[in-house]
Structure 1
């Protein structure tokens, strides 16, 4: 996408200003989305974006600028402007580019540059809507979406790296809205991955519609949740959002390097119950949070974060590695060319254990089963969180009694890790978007069902 001669000239110019490291990140980004309201197509949108990000590093200081143009002189001016206050004599010589491309572990067939498949996407969403509304007369409306994008990237840096990659993302979902005339509730289903619209071959519109409406109807009949400290079983799949938000971010060198994480000095120590094993893996075939290379050009990898309760690794980007001394983990990510990369999660999850869901439920005297988690808020640095339960049930004497509503889980990441006493076998993953200092990136969360022995539950009973 960028002439290597131009890239060489710009990077050498940045080095002549005294930079320790310089990098060009070139991106072409195609998007297409379909949105439905019940059986009606509400919108069809598409677009293309192109840009170049220039990162210059002086010691631990990162300077960043971007443009939509490939003009050599403009890129040099950006470099000069960025380095205006830090300029010094040259300290590094330019290293000739060595072009290489990592093998594609995530093959895609029905991609935007070949076929947007709008008719097929509309047909899937309309069918899911019909199924969802046929479940019950209480289902008043649905909302569906299908988002697809294709991202081509090219990276040059002053260490001689020249590489390219193409990423294809697809995600589809439906939300059902139920009402009984006085109250309203929602339920949802979604799926996605690092692939093209061939994802539809593994999706079933009937299952999508039925699941969204099932959850909405359960929530419509739910009773107020009791509050207080109690044991909680958190369901598999998107239940892993708590580990992602409340613990995963604390293991990124973005916070570790600043000593803003409570785990910054805990490497090798027990930070969780011994039944907890946690991983961040960017290599999983066609998973939503996977990548062949990170946005610094490094091959992605599987990173064991916690092993038998012990902290074993952080998630490390280039700058984070230089500041902390920990080896890079292929975790440098950014939303697009407008952002400098930082250490970010990919597919982050608690690994399967030996317990099963029935055993966990049976072990509860009085507590709740949070079968489907929702969103929430997290305090950076401490991992203090407040997460909503999208679908939950009150449990007494080891039996599920009734569905509950307005439940929230309140604690801190470090506290929750130590309160996990049982880890299930029903491992599952779920798609999400993660926002941080380098923008919003696709990430996968996951876990089997887990039992937390003691956590504060907020409710309105």
Structure 2
């Protein structure tokens, strides 16, 4: 991508005013986005993005610059601009590069760039037809397709030199059902760190029918009551609550500044013994998985909470300096336009011993949330509110009528402490996470869990 001699010159220039560490991140990314509505391809966009990010540290000072000018003059200018924010004299010399290699843990069989757009469109049309024909009330179906190939090179003044190819594919299906001036929406968006083989092997009947079923079911839903209830949260994307309200609080970006209730609490009990919370970038071909992070560190499994005890944080290279702790391979960024910081990969609650049937049967009265929607969270406090896409009443240990308009309101760390049953049906859901270093692919996951009490916001008058 760039020659070693040129990268040496750039890293040296970045250290010219007294920095003690410099890094270059070279990215070459290819993307394809397609949207199908009303049975026809509405948009079809392809692009290539190439750029270089340059970072300099001096103690607890960090400076970042980026450029799309990959000429020698352009790169040296960007490195000089970054260096000028550092005051001092050059003391550090580059270590010789040691080229690191690894065996990919996310095998790719079919590069999306090698697949004709017509082949991709055929899968989208199939998904559309399945969802549209689910029920006569389905008025609109939108299918979105995404693939990307990201080639990166990371080198730094400590002698690291490592390259990686990341390939991801995703299909998102949204169905809208209408009846008597009422409109409801269902959504499913599976994705993987995998090539086009993932798309061709998808169980379209399952995903397209589920998106449509959610929308149709909610047409007959009753208004959700408000109050404090035991809440059963199903697997897969149900894990978004703990991703947002707890996961972000375990990232070094917050921990290093004491902007989280989890700071300085290693070894303390923060959850019941049945809760183990993990971030694992090594899960084969999962949407949020990585071979290496965006600082060149190998992916790993980080146990954050083990049997209720806080065991660790997600730490990037810069915040490791602030905290006096080693990087956990958690430095991630959207692209060369962002400096990396600590971020999640595949974060999930580990499976427990209860079956979903047992959890429901042991709940006398409460709310069952099958699919979560979007929400908001204050990362400093963990206070959250999340919309529920599909919910049901639980009465006498059995599922009852569907409910609409449900919102879960609470505090992540406190909700974590109120988990009293954990299922054995671990599942992961694909999503995008936006934070300081941009929007990145992540998985959220959990088995079915029960929280003994959550405030549920419902419909007025109920």
Give me the TM-score of the superposition, normalised by structure 2.
0.98
Cα deviations by residue, 1:143-198 (Å, 9 ceiling, x for unpaired): 00110000000011000011100000100021111011310001122211001110
Which residue does the alignment assign to 1:9?
Answer: 9
Relative to structure 1, the CA distance from residue 85 to residue 134 in structure 2 (aligned partners, 3 Å threshold; closer, same or farther) is: closer
- Secondary structure in 1 aligned to 2:347? strand
SS at match of 1:247: helix
Shift of 1:128: 1.7
Structure 1 stretch 77-86 or stretch 154-163: which is displaced more?
77-86
Counterparts of 2:38 and 2:202, CA distance in 1: 19
C-alpha contact 2:170 2:199 (8 A) present in aligned 1: no
Partner of 2:125: 126
Q: How does 1:58-457 map to 2 (within 5 A)?
A: 58-115=58-115, 117-457=116-456
CA distance in 2, matches of 1:162, 1:443: 25
Q: Helix, strand or coil for the counterpart of 2:190?
A: strand
Question: Shift in Å at residue 440 of structure 1?
Answer: 0.5
Which shows bigger deviation, 355-364 or 306-315? 355-364
Structure 1, 68-77 or 276-285: larger mean CA deviation: 68-77
Moved more, 91-100 or 342-351: 91-100
Distance 1:12 1:136 in 2: 64
- Residues 290 and 346 in structure 1, CA contact (< 8 A), matched pair in contact too: yes
Provide the rounded CA distance (Å) in 2 between the counterparts of 1:257 and 1:432: 26
> Which SS does the other structure have where 2:112 is aligned?
coil
The answer on whether the counterparts of 1:279 and 1:351 sit within 8 Å (CA) in structure 2 is: yes
Return 5+ residue gaps in structure 2 as ranges: none
- Looking at structure 1, the residues matched to 38 and 400 of structure 2 have their Cα atoms a distance apart, in angstroms, of 33
Count matched residues: 460
- Tell me the CA shift for residue 294 of structure 1: 0.4
| Cα pair 1:125 1:205 within 8 Å, conserved | no
Give secondary structure in 2 for the equivalent of 1:10: helix
Measure how far apart 1:3 and its partner are.
1.1
- Separation in 2 of the partners of 1:142 and 1:190? 13
Q: CA deviation at 1:85?
A: 4.0
**Contact 2:13/2:83 (8 A) holds in 1:** no
Report the secondary structure of 1:290's partner residue: coil
* CA deviation vs aligned residue, 1:208-253 (integer Å, no higher than 9, x gap): 2211111111111111000011100000000000110000000000
CA displacement 1:329-363 (0-9 Å, x = unmatched)? 10000000000000000000000000111222222
- 2:390 touches 2:403 (CA, 8 Å); kept in 1? yes
CA apart distance, 1:84: 2.3
- Report the more deviating stretch, 165-174 or 14-23: 14-23
CA contact (8 A) 2:239 2:348 kept: yes
SS at match of 1:63: strand
**TM-score normalized by structure 1?**
0.98
Cα distance in 1 between the residues matched to 2:77 and 2:167: 33
Asked whether the equivalents of residues 101 and 165 of structure 1 are also in contact (C-alpha less than 8 Å), the reply is: no
> Given that residues 15 and 94 in structure 1 are in contact (C-alpha distance below 8 angstroms), is that contact kept between their aligned partners in structure 2?
no
Aligned equivalents of 2:458, 2:30: Cα separation in 1: 43
Partner Cα separation in structure 1 for residue 374 and residue 50 of structure 2: 32
The range that moved more, 443-452 or 321-330, is 321-330
Output the CA distance in 2 between the equivalents of 1:419 and 1:135. Answer: 38
Q: Is the 8 A contact 1:102 1:293 kept in 2?
A: no
Pairwise CA distance, 1:14:
1.8
- What whole-Å deviation, never above 9, does each CA across 1:238-273 have from its counterpart, x for those lacking one? 000011000000000000001001101111100001
- Kept in 2, the 8 Å contact 1:143–1:175? The answer is yes
Q: Secondary structure at the match of 2:218?
A: helix
Instruction: State the alpha-carbon separation in 1 of the partners of residues 85 and 96 from structure 2.
Output: 28
Q: Following TM superposition, by how much is the alpha carbon of 1:58 offset from its aligned partner in structure 2, in angstroms?
A: 1.5
CA distance in 1 between partners of 2:338 and 2:34 (Å): 27
Cα separation, 2, equivalents of 1:126 and 1:80: 51
- What is the aligned partner in structure 1 of residue 24 from structure 2? 24
Residue pairs, 1:33-48, within 5 angstroms: 33-48=33-48
What is the Cα-based RMSD across aligned positions, in Å?
Answer: 1.1
How far off is 1:53 after superposition?
A: 0.3
Taking the aligned partners of 2:442 and 2:74, their CA distance within structure 1 comes to: 34
**How far, CA to CA, are the matches of 1:173 and 1:78 in structure 2?**
38
Q: Give the Cα–Cα distance (whole angstroms) in 2 for the partners of residues 444 and 55 of structure 1.
A: 28
Cα distance in 2 between the residues matched to 1:268 and 1:359: 31
Describe the superposition over 1:417-455 as per-residue Cα deviations: whole angstroms up to 9, x where unpaired.
Answer: 100000000110110101110001100010000000011
How many angstroms does 1:40 deviate by?
1.2
